[in-house]
C-alpha cells in the first residue's frame, strides 16, 4: 500500500513540474511583450517627434530661402533705383552745367560754374551776376539765371542750401544798411535768393527744401589780395544737397586761384 502511494505521488509530481515551468515562461513572455509594446510606443512617439522636427526644419529652410530671395530682389531693385537716380542726377548736372556755360559766355568767363563737393553739386554764381557791389537786390540777369535753375531743381527731390560769401574788404559805403558788415551782407543776399526761389521763380521751390547760410569772408575761394582774387570770393553758392559726387564728369571743387598776391 505504501509503495503504491509513493508511485502515485511521484507520478503527480512529474505531472505538476511541466505546468509550473509553463506558467513561469508565460509570465516572462507576458512581461517581455509588455516591454516590447512600451518600446514600440516610445519608438512611434520618437518617430512622431522626428517627423515634427523635420517639418519644422523644412519650413524654416523654406522661410530662409524666401527671405534670401526677397533680399536678393530688394538688392536688385535697389540697384536699379540707384542707377535711375544716378542717371537723373547726371542729367540734372549736365543741364545745370549748360546754364553755367551760357551765363558765362559774356565778358567774365566762369561767372557761373558747376562742380562737385562731398555735399553734392554746387552752382557757384559770382556777385556781379546777381548783385551790384554792396547791394542785396537781385539784378535782372541774375533773376534770369535763378529762374533757369529753379526750373531744373523744382521737379527733383533734392534740398538746397544757399551760401553767401563776400571778400575781406569791410563794408563802408553801405554800413548803415548792413551794420554787422560782411556777415550780414552775405546772409541777406542768401535770403534774397531763397525768397526768389520761393516767391518769384516761374517754378517756385518749397520753403521746406531751402536753407540759407552767410559766411561773410570766412570761406574764401582765393587767399590772394588782388582784385581778381577778391572777385572770386564774392559769390553765392547754391548747393544741391544729397547729390553724390562723381556721378558724371563735371569738374570737381575748384582749387583756390590762391597764390596770387601772397
Q: How is the chain split into domains, by residue range?
A: 89-241
Q: pTM higher than 0.85 for the full model?
A: no
What is the per-residue pLDDT across 54-99, written as a single tens digit (0 to 9) for each? 787 777 777 777 777 766 666 666 567 666 666 666 676 677 777 7
Using pLDDT thresholds of 50, 70 and 90, give the confidence band for residue 234: very high
**Cβ contacts of residue 231 below 8 Å, gap of 6+?**
126, 127, 128, 167
- Where residue 57 falls (left for φ over 0; alpha for ψ -120 to 50; beta otherwise) is alpha
Rg over CA atoms, the chain: 46
CATH 3.30.1360.20 fits 89-241, yes or no: no
Cα angle: 50, vertex 52, 55; to 5 degrees = 110
In the 8-state DSSP scheme, what is residue 106? S
What is the per-residue pLDDT across 6-59, written as a single tens digit (0 to 9) for each? 555 555 555 554 555 577 777 777 777 877 777 777 777 777 777 777 787 777
Phi, psi at 248, each rounded to 5°: -135, 175
CA–CA separation, 233 and 157 (whole Å): 29
In the 8-state DSSP scheme, what is residue 138? P
Amino acid at each position: 500500500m505504501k509503495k503504491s502511494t509513493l508511485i502515485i505521488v511521484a507520478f503527480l509530481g512529474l505531472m505538476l513540474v511541466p505546468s509550473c515551468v509553463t506558467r513561469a515562461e508565460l509570465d516572462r513572455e507576458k512581461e517581455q511583450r509588455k516591454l516590447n509594446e512600451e518600446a514600440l510606443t516610445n519608438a512611434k512617439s520618437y518617430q512622431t517627434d522626428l517627423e515634427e522636427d523635420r517639418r519644422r526644419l523644412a519650413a524654416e529652410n523654406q522661410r530662409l530661402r524666401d527671405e534670401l530671395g526677397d533680399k536678393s530682389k530688394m538688392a536688385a531693385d535697389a540697384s536699379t533705383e540707384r542707377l535711375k537716380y544716378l542717371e537723373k542726377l547726371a542729367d540734372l548736372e549736365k543741364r545745370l552745367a549748360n546754364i553755367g556755360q551760357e551765363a558765362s559766355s559774356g565778358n567774365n568767363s566762369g561767372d557761373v560754374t558747376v562742380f562737385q563737393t562731398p555735399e553734392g553739386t554746387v552752382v557757384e554764381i559770382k556777385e556781379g551776376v546777381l548783385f551790384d557791389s554792396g547791394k542785396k537786390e537781385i539784378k535782372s540777369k541774375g533773376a534770369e539765371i535763378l529762374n533757369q535753375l529753379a526750373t531744373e531743381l523744382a521737379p527733383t527731390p533734392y534740398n538746397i542750401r544757399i551760401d553767401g560769401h563776400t571778400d575781406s574788404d569791410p563794408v563802408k559805403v553801405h554800413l548803415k544798411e548792413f551794420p554787422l558788415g560782411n556777415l550780414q551782407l552775405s546772409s541777406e543776399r542768401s535770403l534774397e535768393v531763397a525768397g526768389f526761389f520761393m516767391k518769384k521763380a516761374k517754378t517756385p521751390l518749397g520753403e521746406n527744401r531751402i536753407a540759407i547760410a552767410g559766411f561773410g569772408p570766412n570761406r574764401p575761394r582765393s587767399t590772394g589780395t588782388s582784385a581778381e582774387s577778391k572777385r572770386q570770393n564774392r559769390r553765392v553758392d547754391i548747393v544741391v544737397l544729397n547729390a553724390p559726387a562723381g556721378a558724371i564728369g563735371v569738374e570737381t571743387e575748384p582749387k583756390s586761384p590762391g597764390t596770387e598776391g601772397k
